Amino acid sequence: MSINTDQLDYLAKLSMLLLNETQKKHLHADLNDILQLVESLKNINTTDVEPVLNPLDATLTLRDDKVTEENNREFYQETASLSDNGLYLVPKVIE
Amino acid sequence: MFNQSIHSLALKLADKEFSSVELTNYFLKRIKAYDNTLNSFISVNETLALSQAKAADLLIKQGNYHPLTGIPIAYKDNFCTQGIKTSCGSKMLKNFIAPYTATTINKLNQAGMVMLGKTNMDEFAMGSSNETSYYGAVKNPWNLKKVPGGSSGGSAAAVAAQLTPCAIGSDTGGSIRQPAAFCGLTGLKPTYGRVSRFGMVAFASSLDQAGPMAQSAQDVALLLQTMSGYDANDATSINLPVPDYLQNLENNIKGKRIGLAKEFFDTHLNDDIAKQVLQFANTLKGLGAELIDISLPNMHQAIPCYYIIAPAECSSNLARFDGIRFGYRDENATTLEAHYKQTRAEGFGTEVKRRILVGTYVLSAGYFDAYYLKAQKVRRLIKQDFENAFKTVDVILGPTTPTTAFDLNLKNQLQSDKYLADIYTTAINLAGLPALSLPVGQIDGLPVGAQLIGKLFDEASILNIAHIYQKESQHHLLTPTLFNE
Amino acid sequence: MMQWEPVIGLEIHAQLNTKSKIFSGSATNFGADPNTQASLIDLGMPGTLPSLNKEAVIKAIKFGLSISATINQTSLFERKNYFYPDLPKGYQTSQFQLPIVQNGKFNIPLDNGDSKTIRINRAHLEEDAGKSLHEDYHGMTAIDLNRAGIPLLEIVTEPDFRSAKEAVSYMKSLHHLVRYLDICDGNMQEGSFRCDVNISLRPLGEKKLGTRAEIKNLNSFRFVEKAIQYEIKRQKKLLQAGQAVYQETRLYCPDNDETRAMRSKEEAYDYRYFPCPDLPPLVIDDNFITDIKKNLPEPPQKRKERLLTTYGLKEEDADYFVENPKYCDYLESLLTQSNISPKLAVNWFRGELMRAINNENLSFNELKLAPQKLGELLSALETNQISGKIAKQVFEIMWETGQSAKVIIEQQGLKQLDNTDELNEIIERLIEAYPKQVEGLKAGQNKLLGFFVGQVMKQTQGKANPKQVNDLIKQKLSLD
């Protein structure tokens, strides 16, 4: 299988990546090359094979319902490039 | 202090032959002298290192210490370290100072280890040459025209050039073992779930595992002993007791059944590497082990499987890099969509984008079953191949890489060919198994690595076999002459 | 003219009232300062990982058991991938192909007194998103992630409703159930219980479903009713004019009572669901479910039924007790442990007991007075050993000291005087002492009877039974 440029645009939109024409050209070729690489999988018979959900087939352990965190807002927000009064800021969202 | 195992450095620290401060200064000096050439570190923090060393000296003086107290170490730059930049080799995190420390690093800190700095790596651990780093390529200390391997290339180069006695890396599809092989080190990818992933920035969550890189199996065992164990903060870590790896090192390997899978010795493998790996196997036979031919019929599906699953997970794991709460942000965007698209386009390099796009594709509506689901089913078959093999053998032996370290800046190489560098390593991550790479020879002055693969949670056996071999061989003691002062 | 039938399904998001978040140890208090309850995990900091809150799982199972649903012994957390500023990780951890609860049933009352069974397709666990504050912050949108990671149970019905009224009836009954089970505080203003409505129209008699619109985030019963009514009208108008209904997400605006399409959602989403590699499958064993079953309160309808038929409670009283299972437990053990009339028990519970609790600002859980002790007091009252007035005194002492009613009554000598001779003696003395009043009473001034009863009570320090005194006076003066 291979993808066309419309599909590449769609993938770029879904993954929120702005690509210029040169990048698109290269990535388009790369993606199709990679899809070629993984093509052989379709020849493997996987009837009745359970997909792996965890490499060790482990199951989930549960945590007790306890509050263990305290307010560290100022410290945590040091990594944000834009915040005000304890709030993170983003360009205006229109619903 | 040069070319000594951490085991012997620890004995000398305990005997007060030198102090941790002296030892730390020694390595800091070497970093200053040589890392302009190698580019193996992204950050070096002298002040912190020396204060940790001082604290370690005090502990040693008080007699209250751990075998690793006062030993310098370097961490791959995808482990979060509070107060010190954690860049993941990316522009996206070039100013990111994590507000917390990874569980693994906490454990090593508690043992009194001294952090020299954070090492260079392929961007978000995606790559096999360390060339996708935003901070520039790393050179192989054995030959400056060659890559050190990746993605833990900085860690490998730093240990090989003796800028640090040991380092921690992470391995998603071979990222500890391949650079260990290219740089002549002993490096271990533990069983999935053996070492906590909490605080290690995720690339592909079902494959990532942290592990030690050092001179010898003995050093690796020492580090693994301290890194391992259940962490309630990581739901995929496994609550099993940690065996005494050091004690098991000296076990007689007589009668150990070692499997040689024919799929490892295929057309991709360089003939000289094949020869040296088989020689390694024969040495083990001479030490009493039994060699058994086995087959892993789905082994060659590992690369296709891996290059679907790893990108799928990474496309989702890297969605959090949106410039809002941390990381690079394009300040010029005026709409939300532009904010996302520009921030991510500018913050991520090409290889990361490539994998995000592939991952998005294999998960997208209409393609999920054919790619992602199919890959997870084939992964089951690969896992079963190993389970079957381990019914008749104790460990599996093979090459780590198809070639020795390749040239920096290879041009006009197909992406798919680059991905074949992981051909012998990804199956192990897919199956969750532990595997160790160790040096078993050289070709044209470049190290050759062989891989020992163990049963789930049986790191002890592969460390044991590697250690017994290293008592007989000198390969792991060789150092690149360029950095021999 | 063609008749149109509305087909409606509801998705309710109920915030589970756990102390900490579903995947982190952050507090879940409502109204905290922005981002003060957002931990590294809630912020999606690089390297952080989720760990699942056991209580959220228990609450989901509680709900499943009380709607006779299948509890899936293996369920799976998956990632729903999309970008939004209040979704810190760029995906919502939710359940998709294998939810914890599937195929339940729920009865709702209808206006005509009948009931209708609504099929519940699934109830799954997921994390809530943060909040985007659209008021002007320097021309930007502000993000508060305190809500991010609050556990949600999303309860999805089949399209079984045919009117706004049915939908609201379901929502009210479900609202009652989640509070009764103590899994959600049900506070709709605070968004603890919110509703998405899927609605389409089809010609009456047609089996095939029409194109549906989804109305998101309705947080009151009235809005649900209004939004559905508006949407039925809107779709009917379109269909009758031969126009198409678009599959889209709409918002209800209470100000002008209409729904409008959301601007940002023109295209269908491709959420790229896949099993979350950080969370292995959730496997629940039989013992875990059995333990939850054991502690499950009786379904409210069943309990109310019993209060009405076995104990003969008034409808209003039954509703009051069923509202809170703890009240109900107390009342029922009060009634089984002592042989008193339910009416007396109800009056004392709602009167003296609640008053005492409220006066001290206690929660019902902190109540120390055992039902058996209150029962002893009420028995004494009902068998006329003490008067109502004395009973209140005894109650106060009992509340303070924790002593039993019997001990208090004996120690303080509060036992009712039922010696007729003694009482008659007092009454005779009073008749002599107050001849004028006797005359008035005989002449028909009935309120003077109260004067005499009061005098007797005074002289006996309240220990006489007023009714008995009443009768004796009448007898003595040959009244009636």
Are B348 and B356 in contact by the 8 Å Cβ rule? The answer is: yes
Whether C263 shows a pLDDT value over 70: the answer reads no
Are A81 and B93 in contact by the 8 Å Cβ rule? The answer is: no
Q: What percent of chain C has pLDDT over 90?
A: 62
Q: Give C480's pLDDT tier (boundaries 50, 70, 90).
A: low
Whether B62 shows a pLDDT value over 60: the answer reads yes
Of B175, B216, B228, B315, which is the active-site residue?
B175
Q: Nearest CB to B432: which of A31, A56, A75?
A: A56
**Residue in B377, B382, B383 to test binding to A, most A beta-carbons within 10 Å:** B377
C84: number of CA atoms within 13 Å, CB side?
Answer: 22
Question: Count of CB atoms within 10 A of residue A42's CB?
Answer: 13
- Spatial distance between the Cα atoms of C270 and C20, rounded to a whole number of angstroms: 31
pLDDT at C125: 98
- Spatial distance between the Cα atoms of B101 and B76, rounded to a whole number of angstroms: 13
**B290: exposed, middle or buried (C-beta count within 10 Å: 0-12, 13-18, 19+)?**
middle
Whether C265 shows a pLDDT value over 60: the answer reads no
- Residues B198-223 have pLDDT tens digits of 999 999 999 999 999 999 999 999 99
Q: Positive or negative CA dihedral for B211, B216, B217, B218?
A: negative
- Spatial distance between the Cα atoms of B467 and B449, rounded to a whole number of angstroms: 15
To the query of whether residue B16 is one of the catalytic residues in this protein, the response is no
Are B363 and C81 in contact by the 8 Å Cβ rule? The answer is: yes
- Residues C3-37 have pLDDT tens digits of 999 999 999 999 999 999 999 999 999 999 999 99
Whether C377 shows a pLDDT value over 60: the answer reads yes
Chain A: residue whose CA lies nearest to B304 = A38
Angle (deg, nearest 10), helices B46-62 and B20-38 = 150
Q: Is B430 on the interface with A (CB under 8 A)?
A: yes
Whether C196 shows a pLDDT value over 80: the answer reads yes
Residue B197 CA to chain centroid, in angstroms? 13
pLDDT at C264: 53
Q: A84: which chain C residues are within 8 Å (Cβ-Cβ)?
A: 137-138, 142
- Residues B137-153 have pLDDT tens digits of 999 999 999 999 999 99
> In terms of Cα–Cα distance, which of B317, A1, B361 is closest to C272?
B361
**Residue in C23, C52, C141, C285 to test binding to A, most A beta-carbons within 10 Å:** C141
ipTM, 2 dp: 0.97
- Spatial distance between the Cα atoms of B324 and B343, rounded to a whole number of angstroms: 10
> In terms of Cα–Cα distance, which of B265, B296, B290 is closest to B278?
B265
Q: How many residues does chain B have?
A: 485
Q: Give C362's pLDDT tier (boundaries 50, 70, 90).
A: confident
DSSP B292-341: EEE--TTGGGHHHHHHHHHHHHHHHHGGG-SSSSSS---TT--SHHHHHH
What is the side-by-side order of every strand in the sheet holding C140-144? Answer: A83-84, A87-91, C140-144, C131-137
- Residues C277-302 have pLDDT tens digits of 999 999 999 999 999 999 888 877 78
Q: Which residues of chain A have pLDDT under 70?
A: 95
B 245-274 residues with CB < 8 A to A: none
Alpha helices (H) in C185-295, listed in sequence order: 221-240, 286-294
Q: Is B334 on the interface with A (CB under 8 A)?
A: yes
| Cα separations in angstroms, B141 against B181, B379, B480 | 13, 36, 6
CB under 8 A, 24+ apart: contacts of B414-420:
B414/A33, B415/A30, B415/A33, B415/A34, B415/B354, B416/A33, B416/A34, B416/A36, B416/A37, B418/B128, B418/B129, B419/A34, B419/A37, B419/B128, B419/B303, B419/B307, B420/B268, B420/B303
Residue B82 CA to chain centroid, in angstroms? 21
Produce one character per residue of C307-319: b if its CB has 16 or more CB atoms within 10 Å, e if not. Answer: beeebebeeebbe
Whether C82 shows a pLDDT value over 80: the answer reads yes
Residue B16 CA to chain centroid, in angstroms? 32
> In terms of Cα–Cα distance, which of C71, C80, C74 is closest to C103?
C71
Q: Is B99 on the interface with A (CB under 8 A)?
A: yes
Q: Give B247's pLDDT tier (boundaries 50, 70, 90).
A: very high
Q: Do A73 and C85 touch (CB under 8 A)?
A: no
To the query of whether residue B51 is one of the catalytic residues in this protein, the response is no
DSSP B280-296: HHHHHHHTT-EEEEE--
Residue B297 CA to chain centroid, in angstroms? 26
Q: Do A34 and B307 touch (CB under 8 A)?
A: yes
Both structure tokens of C367: 């109540």
- Spatial distance between the Cα atoms of B440 and B422, rounded to a whole number of angstroms: 19
Greatest CA span in chain A, whole angstroms? Answer: 58
The continuous run of DSSP H or E covering C213 comes out as strand C213-218
Q: Give C266's pLDDT tier (boundaries 50, 70, 90).
A: very low
Both structure tokens of B347: 């913050």
Q: Do A78 and B358 touch (CB under 8 A)?
A: no
Mean per-residue pLDDT, B260-280: 97
Q: Which of B404-408, C185-189, C237-241, C432-436 has the lowest mean pLDDT?
A: C432-436
Q: Nearest CB to B236: which of A14, A49, A54?
A: A54
Both structure tokens of C194: 């919110």
Whether C447 shows a pLDDT value over 90: the answer reads no
Are B395 and B463 in contact by the 8 Å Cβ rule? The answer is: no
Q: Do C85 and B99 touch (CB under 8 A)?
A: no
pLDDT at B477: 96
- Vertex B29 angle, CA B25 and B31, to 5°: 120
Q: How many CB pairs under 8 A join B and C?
A: 102
pLDDT at B127: 96
Whether C268 shows a pLDDT value over 70: the answer reads no
- Spatial distance between the Cα atoms of A48 and B479, rounded to a whole number of angstroms: 51
Of B20, B151, B152, B216, which is the active-site residue?
B151
Mean per-residue pLDDT, C394-418: 84
Whether B267 shows a pLDDT value over 90: the answer reads yes
- Residues C314-353 have pLDDT tens digits of 989 998 888 777 888 899 999 988 889 999 999 999 999 9
Q: Is B124 on the interface with C (CB under 8 A)?
A: no
Mean pLDDT, rounded, of chain C: 91
Query: Which DSSP letter does residue C192 get?
Result: S
Is the peptide bond preceding residue B151 cis, with omega within 30 degrees of 0? yes
Query: Which DSSP letter does residue A39 get?
Result: G
Mean per-residue pLDDT, C66-71: 96
The continuous run of DSSP H or E covering C8 comes out as strand C4-15
pLDDT at C250: 92
Residues 6+ apart with CB under 8 A from B119: B40, B41, B42, B74, B75, B76, B77, B152, B154, B155, B158, B167
Q: What percent of chain B has pLDDT over 70?
A: 100
Mean per-residue pLDDT, C223-230: 96
